[in-house]
Amino acid sequence: MPIDPICKKTVDETTPFKSIYKNKEYYFCSEECKKKFDELDKSVIRVRRSLKDKERISFGKLKREIIEPGICTLCGACVASCEALAVVNGKPTLKGPCTACGVCYNQCPRTITTESSLIGSVRDVFTAKTLLPEVKGQDGGVVTSMLLYALEEGLMDSAVVTVKSDEEPWKPVPIVAQTREDILRSAGSIYVHSLTMESLMSAIKRGSRSIGFVGPSCNIDAVYKMQTSPYGLLHMFMRANILKLGLFCMDTFHYDGLKSFLESKNIPLSAVTEMKIRKGKLVVKTDSEHIFPLSDIDAIRSGSCTVCTDLTAEKSDISFGGVGSNEGYTTVLARTGLGLELFKDAADRGYIKIEPLERNGLERVLRQAKAKKVQMYMIKKRIETGKGI
């Protein structure tokens, strides 16, 4: 005897309440159940209509991103939303023409389809640069300039930043900066993990109560955890106002590995004046420029970075990165009211120049954020090892 797909009751085939979907007849116990089932079909049509003028997404994208890498859960949401799809040999498969309406992609629990699930909650987005000639930043020098503003306006009594070691070139050393000089020398990015939390604890122990803290998402997460976990140190005993300045981050490397790799290319770290990661390449400047694909240094990438999914430091008050902006500018995502207010005030007081980030800049951030989010599925590894197919 057939089962009513809505209320799961057994029904007689002679019931007057029937519907046909995907060439199959369905039987219902009542007009109400039949109506619910038919409404579902209408919703698919409505969603299809509202997606019509958006980006065209075909089943091929779902196949490439989810089914082929082997991360499909076989929940059936895609198949249930399109007559052209069926499960064949344990996989959602196209059996008819695909109109690239995007409905299946938007139902799948494994795809990422909203901006906030890629970069967290954001109040406003900007591109900005320093107006202080003495600031030599990694991108627009905005992080350093904001710290200088907060220190000089008396809004912050110290900042936890990272500088390069004097003894071992390009080794990161976290410090508690309380002077203009210390903040200025922290400008620039070092692609190695920095033990910033030790310095944060030491700043609080020394009596700082308004602290600017700079770090990539894993560092910001540590502060957040200590502030919000029931037994977190910052929640229980060490009360301090911490402004979290997050850095976008795709990778860091083991210090010794980076040193050996560059030495094998006849580049001593002591000769390096600048390092940047741009468009999947490590750019190292000495008296000339050396460019290496990141795939060459995969082996020295920190293990934690291969499973990290947060590009933009989603739990910070304000985040900063290079992607999305022109050379010499920093992309800024203002997240909290405090982050936004301080950023705008730093501009009003002449520390930085700010402009809205254009849509194509934000799209670049979203693309990089997506590449990082899907790391959790280990798609690259699955395809390489053939495990997903």
Ligand X SMILES: Cc1cc2nc3c(=O)[nH]c(=O)nc-3n(C[C@H](O)[C@H](O)[C@H](O)COP(=O)(O)OP(=O)(O)OC[C@H]3O[C@@H](n4cnc5c(N)ncnc54)[C@H](O)[C@@H]3O)c2cc1C
**For binding to ligand X (CB under 6 A), which residues are involved?**
137-144, 161-162, 172, 186-192, 194, 196, 214-216, 219, 247-250, 252, 277, 320-323, 330
Q: Residue 120's binding partner, choosing from ligand X, ligand SF4, none, with beta-carbon cut-off 5 to 8 A by kind?
A: none
Residue 3 engages ligand SF4 in binding (rule: CB under 6 A) = no
Choose between 61 and 364: whose C-beta lies nearer to ligand X: 364
State the nearest-atom distance from the C-beta of 239 to ligand X, in Å. 24
- Tell me which of 29, 33, 72, 258 binds ligand SF4, using CB under 6 A: 72
Structure tokens at 138: 């990694």
Residue 308 engages ligand SF4 in binding (rule: CB under 6 A) = yes
Residue 93 engages ligand SF4 in binding (rule: CB under 6 A) = no
Choose between 71 and 277: whose C-beta lies nearer to ligand X: 277
Residue 277 engages ligand SF4 in binding (rule: CB under 6 A) = no
Choose between 11 and 334: whose C-beta lies nearer to ligand X: 334
Residue 66 engages ligand SF4 in binding (rule: CB under 6 A) = yes
Choose between 72 and 334: whose C-beta lies nearer to ligand X: 334
Angstrom distance (rounded) from CA 64 to CA 123? 33
Which residues have a Cβ under 8 Å from the Cβ of 288 and sit 6 or more positions away? none
Q: Residue 98's binding partner, choosing from ligand X, ligand SF4, none, with beta-carbon cut-off 5 to 8 A by kind?
A: ligand SF4
Q: Residue 76's binding partner, choosing from ligand X, ligand SF4, none, with beta-carbon cut-off 5 to 8 A by kind?
A: ligand SF4
Task: Map tokens 């910001």 to a residue.
Answer: 220
- Tell me which of 69, 102, 321, 339 binds ligand SF4, using CB under 6 A: 102
Check if the beta carbon of residue 188 is closer than 8 Å to that of residue 141. no
Chain positions 8 to 27 lying near ligand SF4, rule: CB under 6 A, are: none
State the nearest-atom distance from the C-beta of 6 to ligand X, in Å. 48
State the nearest-atom distance from the C-beta of 324 to ligand SF4, in Å. 17
- Tell me which of 218, 277, 371, 383 binds ligand SF4, using CB under 6 A: 218
Structure tokens at 243: 């402004």
Check if the beta carbon of residue 91 is closer than 8 Å to that of residue 66. no
Angstrom distance (rounded) from CA 28 to CA 18? 6
Choose between 107 and 208: whose C-beta lies nearer to ligand SF4: 107
Q: Residue 101's binding partner, choosing from ligand SF4, ligand X, none, with beta-carbon cut-off 5 to 8 A by kind?
A: ligand SF4
Choose between 92 and 120: whose C-beta lies nearer to ligand SF4: 92
Using Cβ positions, the residue closest to ligand X within the complex turns out to be 137
Angstrom distance (rounded) from CA 176 to CA 173? 10
Chain positions 104 to 123 lying near ligand SF4, rule: CB under 6 A, are: 104, 107-110
- Tell me which of 58, 202, 227, 286 binds ligand SF4, using CB under 6 A: 58
Angstrom distance (rounded) from CA 280 to CA 295? 8
State the nearest-atom distance from the C-beta of 169 to ligand SF4, in Å. 20
Residue 240 engages ligand SF4 in binding (rule: CB under 6 A) = no
Give how many residues touch ligand SF4 by CB under 6 A: 41
Q: Residue 110's binding partner, choosing from ligand SF4, ligand X, none, with beta-carbon cut-off 5 to 8 A by kind?
A: ligand SF4
Strands 289-293 and 330-334: unpaired
State the nearest-atom distance from the C-beta of 279 to ligand SF4, in Å. 17
Tell me which residues touch ligand SF4 (CB under 6 A).
58-59, 62, 66-67, 72-78, 81-82, 84-85, 92, 94, 98-104, 107-110, 193, 216-218, 249-252, 302, 304-305, 308
